[in-house]
Amino acid sequence: MNAFSETIIGDPEIARRHVDEAVDLYEQAGDRHGLVTALYGRGSIALRVGDFATVRSSAEQALAICDDIDDRWGRAEPLSLLGFAELMGGGSLSEARRLTQEALDLYRELGDIGSQVVMNPLSAIALRQGDIEAAERLAVDTAAIAADTGWEATALVNLAEVLMAKGETAAAAATLRRAVTRALDSGLENWFRIALRDLATLAVQGGQPGRAARLMGASRSNMPHYGLDPGIYQSIESGCRAVLDEETVAREVAAGERMEHAEIVQFALE
């Protein structure tokens, strides 16, 4: 479906139109397996723009269809969406963990490596719950599964965030630099921007406020809603403004926003 590629690298409004058309076509054709896929696409697009009500309604409709047609495997994708909605939409972390674990178990049975990585926020959930040991174990396992695949960048960002939480900043920075190049090589624009955001956090912590401001500006361009965590960005901005004047911060942010991919990579890897 065109909507899926637009969700990852393109315009979410175009993706929304495509997926709405797909939902209508599958409904008219009475193709319920196809409808489950289209509803998953609708939920994925809604997740990108922060429309958690649509994420939940699409996933719940898809799950109901799967139960009706006894499609056990089809449950994995809507379950993972519900897990993301709980994690990112202000829901219950314990419920997010339960839903995501159920989805992950199905993905493992299917041998679906890409989905195990992309739809596996268990490490992030454990990190938010303060369970760093579990977060690290999950992140390391996911990175091993994803090695040398197109989804490696996702796993590397998750691993880097665990390393940041442990205070292992040098290892986190090296992991994020790998994530930047792997994400761009794989066309994963969303994880490219999230890796830049996390590098901005490390730059603030490392006493490089100008670099942090520029990386922050670069990261915000085409960032999905779920990457625009206000707590993270407020911390970066506060760190920059504690050292630099407002005009300098604004100038560096604007410079980052104007940078093309090749310039961003060169700057991020310096």
pLDDT tens digits along 180-220? 999 999 988 989 999 999 999 999 999 999 999 999 999 99
Per-residue pLDDT at 5 exceeds 60: no
Per-residue pLDDT at 106 exceeds 70: yes
Domain topology for 1-111: 1.25.40
> What integer pLDDT is reported at residue 245 of this predicted model?
97
pLDDT tens digits along 89-98? 889 999 999 9
Place of tokens 């809603």: 225
Per-residue pLDDT at 236 exceeds 50: yes
Residue 2 buriedness (CB in 10 A; 0-12 / 13-18 / 19+): middle
pTM over 0.95: no
> To the nearest whole number, what is the mean pLDDT of the chain?
91
Non-local CB neighbours of 219 within 8 Å, separated by 6+ positions: 193, 194, 196, 197, 200, 227, 256
Per-residue pLDDT at 241 exceeds 80: yes
